Amino acid sequence: MNAQHELPPITLSENDYNRLLLTARIRQKDNSNAYEFLLDELRRARICRPSELPEDVVSTNCRVIFRIDDEPKSRAHLLVHPEDMLWPGAEISVTTPLGTALLGLRVGDRMPFVDDGTLHEVAVEGIGLRFLDDGTTVTRTPGSITWT
């Protein structure tokens, strides 16, 4: 991985941005590196209304398919706010280094992040299920969108 690589652009919904900014400011002293990374990402994000968030952008409450450091097998987890975690094995908190790195990326993007002092790179391979703020679910399958 090239450390000089330009960071990919990120897009966040207003809801994610506002909630994460509050979370980062409140918890900034808990783990300065993780929350500083989150604040840095929030500062560089393009903000849009939730209804304008592109389908191929990672947001909270969406299932993201990704690969770390070109590992042989993809992973799939739901990206959530830390206080919303219900199934830690199936979810990733957006306030972890990996969760922050995934936030706002588009399918195909790659993003460096540091976890426990080690530099990694995550690649977004797909987006599955996305839960919207109004309680509805968007299910993505090739060629169709189903609202439930």
4-44 pLDDT per residue, tens: 568 999 999 999 999 999 988 887 777 667 788 999 999 99
Whether residue 142 is predicted with pLDDT greater than 60 in this model: the reply is no
Q: Does any domain span residue 103?
A: yes
Q: Write the pLDDT tens digit of every residue in 50-63.
A: 989 999 999 999 99
Q: Does any domain span residue 18?
A: yes
Regarding beta strands 110-115 and 91-93, do their DSSP bridges make them parallel or antiparallel, or are they unpaired? unpaired
Q: Coil, strand or helix: which one is 98?
A: helix
Return the structure tokens found at 145: 């969108």
Report d(CA 40, CA 23) in Å as an integer.
13
Q: Which domain holds residue 88?
A: 11-137
Check residue 5 and give its pLDDT. 65
Q: Domain tally for the chain?
A: 1
Return the structure tokens found at 75: 């992973």
Check residue 64 and give its pLDDT. 96
Report d(CA 5, CA 48) in Å as an integer.
26
Backbone φ and ψ for 39, nearest 5 degrees, come out as -60, -40
Q: Write the pLDDT tens digit of every residue in 73-121.
A: 999 999 999 889 898 789 999 999 999 999 999 999 999 999 989 999 9
Report d(CA 50, CA 109) in Å as an integer.
21
More confident residue, 124 or 30: 124
| CATH number of the CATH domain containing 76 | 3.10.50.30
